[in-house]
Amino acid sequence: MILTVLSSLVVIFSQYFYLGKQWNLMEYLNNWFQISYAVALALGFVNLTVIHWKNIQRKREGWVFSIILLLTMYGYLIVGLAEWSFEGPIFGWIYENIMAALSAAIFSMVAFFITSAAYRAFRVRTKEATILLVCAVLVMLGRAPIGDAIWKSWLGGWSGFVNQWMMGTLNMAAMRAITLGAYVGGFATALRIMLGLERAHIGGTGTQ
Amino acid sequence: MERLMKIDRRIIYLIAAALVILTLFVPLGLPVKISDMTRGAYSAIENLPDGSLVFIAPMYDPGARGELDPMFVAMLHQCAKRGYKMLIGNTSWTLGVQMLHPIVTDILGDYGYTYGEDYIELGSKPGGSIWMQQATNDLVTACITDYNNQPLAQFPIISQVPKLAAEYVDAILVLDCGTPGAREWLTYVSTPTGIPLVVGVIQMSVPEHTPFLDSGQYKGLIGGSRGAAEYELLVGKPGKAVKSQDTMSVIALMVTLFIILGNIGYLTSRKK
């Protein structure tokens, strides 16, 4: 906890005090962070290995996936080190044909889930749910050219107004409130950590 | 009627897949109306002074390339047409730079751009917001090498940009799909240095970014696949985003119809 308090004081000193700026403390802190970042990455690598090695040894549920994970992780690392370039034939091939393709596929599957989820979730159960439903449909259609065509035939020159008003007025006001609330909450949490009132990050019981 | 409430999700998936495939072969060709928001972003880039230098930060990986690649491609075309010099790189989106390298090489090669003089690829650097702060102090120290692991200091373009500051960089163009992204660029680079920020985001992030456009902190915002299509049309290079608009239309219509059907079923069952 003392370390947490001291660290936060150093950061505050480096950012908000004249001497901190003069001594360029922030640059030192940034360099330390970058080094810690690299160490944390290595630590994560070791940690992942230990956890999944234990899974395999004890044949816990899904241990086969642990084998796949370790083989993939070390295999790709070795290929990367051996070829020492993004453009290496094997490294590049794995990236282009497996990693990029899988990553894009996972993201694109969301469209199907959303289609099904929208059908199931949007019901006119209450007044609030009905308002949500109507807004969702209007904005969704408004973001596709078909929406423009529909609104144009109904509303003429006002066709862009529905979507723009919802996004530019209703949504913006709500998002501002949420964002400001989140930042105030973040500031309060940071202050609590600095004052030692919040100890969950050091394995404490959480709040006091 | 109650059956309308319980349509098997596999049927919905199948219809969605069929419609996506169908629109690839039978394009509807609906016109794409250009919004003020996208036009603003286009103008913000277009109206930079001749000979400007821009920093393009494609902060995304293959998952978001469907929406952001078309923006990136159109952005490169617009900047190259205007003759801007370009620094291209991101921080923390390691998986992104590799897929973008061929795009950059092809497009800028067509415009006769010389690597190291007219543009440079910085690759992906670790550190997120910390890297951004370092780059505002000293770009070479923050990056050390370029995408090809060559020392950065040897390239002539870098001598014009010792650090990310308004006197050297005329605009930062960020393509955002998460954290770190445009917000970090705004907090750690654009606000302290005064470099104008133009942002492109995936569709689901549009609501959280519009307040920054309204407040003037973003000089332009391009939203999702629709925004990308509008931007492609403005740049005069219609591509993948314009083609995808038919798919967007039929899927939006399909979801709407299913919502209506589900609610007919729900209201009927409630009456009973």
pLDDT in tens, A27-59: 889 888 888 888 998 999 999 999 999 999 999
> Region B143-166: what's the mean pLDDT?
95
Point out which residues pair with B123 in neighbouring strands: B89
Average pLDDT over residues B212-226: 95
A143–B248 C-beta distance less than 8 A: yes
- The answer to whether the beta carbons of residues B60 and B177 sit under 8 Å apart is yes
pLDDT at A204: 65
Please tell me the predicted confidence (pLDDT) of residue A158: 67
Nearest residue in A to B255, CA atom: A115
- Domain interval for residue B136: 36-240
Instruction: For residues B105 and B92, give the distance between their C-alpha atoms in angstroms, rounded to a whole number.
Output: 22
Name the amino acid, one letter, at A29: L
Q: Check whether A206 has a pLDDT greater than 60.
A: no
Q: What's the CATH code of the domain at B117?
A: 3.40.50
Which strands, in side-by-side order, build the sheet including B119-125?
B119-125, B85-91, B53-59, B171-176, B197-201, B220-223
Distance CA B224, CA B200 (A): 8
**Distance (Å) from the alpha carbon of B114 to chain A's nearest alpha carbon:** 20
Q: Is residue B258 situated within a structural domain?
A: no
Q: Does B259 touch chain A (CB under 8 A)?
A: yes
pLDDT at residue A168, rounded to an integer:
86
Q: Which of A155-159, B47-51, B158-162, B257-261 has the lowest mean pLDDT?
A: A155-159
Q: Does B140 touch chain A (CB under 8 A)?
A: no
DSSP secondary structure letter of residue A201: G
> What pLDDT is stored for residue B189 in this prediction?
97
SS3 B50: coil
Q: What share of chain A has pLDDT > 70, as a percent?
A: 95
Query: Is B77 inside any structural domain?
Result: yes
- pLDDT confidence bin for A205, thresholds 50/70/90: low
Cα separations (Å) of B156 from A9, B9, B117, B160? 41, 57, 5, 7
Average pLDDT over residues A100-120: 89
- Report yes or no on B8 lying in a domain: no
* Per-position b or e across A30-57, b if 16+ CB within 10 A of its CB: beebbeeeeeeeeeeeeeeeeebeebee
Which residue out of B15, B30, B130 would a mutagenesis test of the A interface target, given it has the greatest number of A Cβ atoms within 10 Å? B130
Ranked by mean pLDDT, which of A93-107, B24-38, B183-197 comes out on top? B183-197
The answer to whether the bond into B180 is cis (omega within 30° of 0) is: yes
pLDDT band at residue B190 under the 50/70/90 scheme: very high
Question: With an 8 Å Cβ cutoff, are A172 and B127 in contact?
Answer: no
Which pLDDT belongs to residue A207?
57
pTM: 0.90
Instruction: Using pLDDT thresholds of 50, 70 and 90, give the confidence band for residue A157.
Output: low
In this structure, are residues B224 and B201 in contact, taking their beta carbons and an 8 Å threshold? Answer: yes
Nearest chain B Cα distance for residue A132, angstroms: 12
Residues A136 and A121: beta-carbon distance below 8 Å: no
Q: Does a structural domain hold residue B253?
A: no
For B212, the enclosing helix (H) or strand (E) is: helix B206-214
> Cβ contacts of residue A191 below 8 Å, gap of 6+?
none
Q: What is the mean pLDDT of chain B?
A: 94
Instruction: pLDDT band for A104, please (50, 70, 90 cuts).
Output: confident
CA A6 to chain B, closest CA, distance in angstroms equals 20
Give the pairing of strands B171-176 and B53-59. Answer: parallel
Contact: A33, B64; criterion CB under 8 Å:
no
Confidence grade of residue B123 (pLDDT, cut at 50, 70, 90): very high
pLDDT-wise least confident of A83-87, B114-118, B227-231: A83-87
Which residue among B32, B66, B263 sits closest to A108, beta carbon to beta carbon? B66
Domain count, chain B: 1
Q: Provide the mean pLDDT of chain A.
A: 88
The length of chain B in residues reads 272
Q: What is the mean pLDDT of residues A15-30?
A: 88
Check residue B1 and give its pLDDT.
74
Pick the more confident residue, A102 or B46. B46
CB B246 within 8 A of CB B24: no
Note every long-range contact of A38-45, with CB atoms under 8 Å and residues 24 or more positions apart, other chains counting: A38/B126, A41/B126, A45/A73
Check CB contact of B127 with chain A, cutoff 8 Å: yes
Asked if B198 and B219 touch (Cβ cutoff 8 Å), the reply is yes
Residue B43 domain flag: yes
Residue B180 tokens read as 């770190």
Partner-chain residue, chosen from B30, B36, B266, that has the shortest CB–CB distance to A149: B30
Distances, alpha carbon B218 to alpha carbons B34, B37, B77, B228, in Å: 19, 11, 21, 17
pLDDT band at A208 (very low <50, low <70, confident <90, very high): low
